[in-house]
Structure 1
């Protein structure tokens, strides 16, 4: 989901800078609400477990795309499935450009030896480069009006306490190495509650995650678990109206950034220098472990590998500084 969300600021600026362009976005139907803020954009559902399953299914999808008579196709994913679709599209004479994921640079960044790390090209810029290859260079530094989806009457209740700022907390990630330890997150949430200046909305998914968030809702004042209680489009609308989001290196931070919500991100085995930081979020909002103490960081691009001795890298994140930063971004300090 994070990769999908990161495409939206790029696509929005493409449409702003080239108003004659019309977009057809191929993605899972679940992700369609993410693109609602884009003008002149239709979403085509990729049903990869149904009619578009396997090579024959992908050929069927390619034929469907051919019927649109596209000027060109931008492959922002560059995995086996999209490569197969690209092949079929090229046989139809359609121009295709693919993302350069910078695999060699990223491999060097995570090498398990002492190193001097430096920021790599951001994923947003890599997406923009694909369109430049098709003849549409994009300036990502331009401002874009933010269109926030409307809240339902029920969702407005979460924002009803005028004396408190509403923040989202998304404490989970796809891999343990990217996730702030559960006991420390509980400790942090208790400290946030103790300030009595915030209403906290918890985001997540999956049975075990929901059980954990339900427990925190019972234990911690001014804390509400939204996981499993909203359809995705409603959850997205709520995220758009937050005063701030606290997230891991995961999708929820990228969703919040779409609506220019300040996003504080906690990093573990991964690092913002790999290019996956939420769009236009400052370095001060990226909380990373000490590189002096853990000189081999980052040890993974996607957070799926834990290096021995690096299991507790996130324990050193300064919670008091984090809360101070949170107060600053919501203008309470």
Structure 2
């Protein structure tokens, strides 16, 4: 493996999953600085890696696999690190015909857990599974955690946040890619009215109506940043927050990268899948909020547009008082 000079790392999506690759990228660049690192990512997630200094070249996947393969073939890689491990990445590896390693996604064990509630999953975070994937290269985890690199001037977003002081507001991740991961509006309203702290809502433009609906029911200061921020600007807002309230989504991992106190609320997915907040230097900075002993949970390793059982008790039955207590505890830190 000492002859490797140029590698391709494949992780197409999504925001959080890409952020979770950053400890491995940092370790490769630190321990094997002679290796040129290229990264293949879907075009819409390019901003997540755009300013990462540990990546030498980024390839945007635009949906045309044959064109992508031809472009990558010209790079003449020595090795491919497949952190996506799907049909598309398999085809790329087969066509390029170079040595490779792929992450173990534990899909059979996840399937057993989802369908039969038999939990045979190892107690290991996905970050550590990424390192296992590249164990032959000899790089080791430095346990410094995740990284997010914002674009220049991203902090200018605070010019719009009139009246919001840094380290004196709560960030709420308003939505998620799947409904069964999202925190219901009613739950958010109850939590936020009980803590009565300034709140900034983050999310996509599609999350804006939900944020507006929640804001109408609140008595605290609010700012709806849904749909108006880049990923880098969202990262800056999270970086300077006091507490983050988030479901199992990208904002959770951005918060972990900045070591911000985090309330991590889990719906249909479970931390046992290995994607919980990764803060190796201070695991006391996050709280896992989940409803235990639900026979239907986990119902999916990803999520659904609606609750298959039509009750959504994994979110609706969250212990609000305990969550509020944890927020108040985190608020007193620093």
TM-score interval for Structure 1 and Structure 2 normalised by the shorter chain: 0.7 to 0.9
1:32 equivalent in structure 2: 46
- Which residue number in structure 2 is paired with residue 210 of structure 1? 208
SS at match of 2:169: strand
Q: Which residue of 2 aligns with 1:285?
A: 287
TM-fit CA distance, 1:160:
5.5
Distance 1:308 1:66, change over 3 A: same
Aligned-pair CA distance for 1:286? 0.8
- Rounded to whole Å, the distance in 2 between the matches of 1:246 and 1:32 is 25
Displacement, 1:287?
Answer: 0.7
Decide whether aligned partners of structure 1 residues 259 and 75 sit closer, same or farther in structure 2, where only a CA change above 3 A counts: same
Contact 1:148 1:259 in 2 (8 A): no
Structure 1 alignment gaps of length 5 or more: none
Q: Aligned partners of 2:254 and 2:166: how far apart in 1? A: 25
1:72 aligns with 2:48: no
| RMSD of Structure 2 on Structure 1 (CA) | 2.9
* Deviation sequence 1:205-263 (CA, Å, 0-9, x none): 243x2112123334422111101112333223322332332111111111222222232
In structure 2, C-alpha distance between the alignment counterparts of 1:214 and 1:155, rounded to whole Å: 20
The 5-angstrom pairing of residues 297-312 of structure 1 reads 297-304=297-304, 306=307, 308=309, 311-312=312-313
Q: Are residues 146 and 176 of structure 1, via their aligned partners in 2, closer, same or farther at CA, if it must alter by over 3 Å? A: closer
Corresponding position of 2:269: 270
Contact 1:216 1:223 in 2 (8 A): no
Aligned 8 A contact 1:177 1:311 in 2: yes
1:176-195 counterparts in 2 under 5 A? 176-193=179-196
Alpha-carbon separation, structure 1, partners of 2:322 and 2:213: 26
**Are the counterparts in 2 of residues 148 and 240 from structure 1 also a CA contact under 8 Å?**
no
Separation in structure 2 between the aligned mates of residue 153 and residue 186 of structure 1, nearest angstrom:
29
Write the distance in 1 (CA, Å) between the matches of 2:34 and 2:330: 37
Spell out the pairing of 1:29-68 with structure 2 (5 A cutoff).
29-35=43-49, 36-48=51-63, 53=64, 58-68=65-75
Q: Which residue of 28, 33, 54 maps to 1:19?
A: 33
1:247 paired to 2:258 = no
Kept in 2, the 8 Å contact 1:12–1:144? The answer is: no
Partner of 2:100: 96
Stretch moving more, 161-170 or 271-280: 161-170
The 1:237–1:59 alpha-carbon spacing in structure 2 relative to 1, beyond 3 Å, is: same
Aligned in 2, Cα 1:289/1:65: closer, same or farther, shift over 3 Å?
Answer: same
The change in CA–CA distance for 1:143 and 1:272 in structure 2 (over 3 A counts) is closer
Contact 2:172 2:202 in 1 (8 A): yes
Unaligned runs of 5+ in 2: 1-13
Alignment CA distance shift 1:324-1:20 (3 Å): farther
TM-score (norm 2): 0.82
The answer on whether the counterparts of 1:203 and 1:227 sit within 8 Å (CA) in structure 2 is yes
Residue of structure 2 aligned with 1:5, choices 12, 19, 31: 19
Count of aligned pairs between the two proteins: 313
In structure 2, relative to structure 1, the CA distance for the partners of 1:61 and 1:200 (3 Å cut) is: same
CA deviation after TM superposition for structure 1 residue 86, in Å: 1.2
Q: Contact 2:212/2:224 (CA < 8 Å) preserved in 1?
A: yes
C-alpha spacing 1:108/1:145, structure 2 compared with 1 (3 Å)? closer
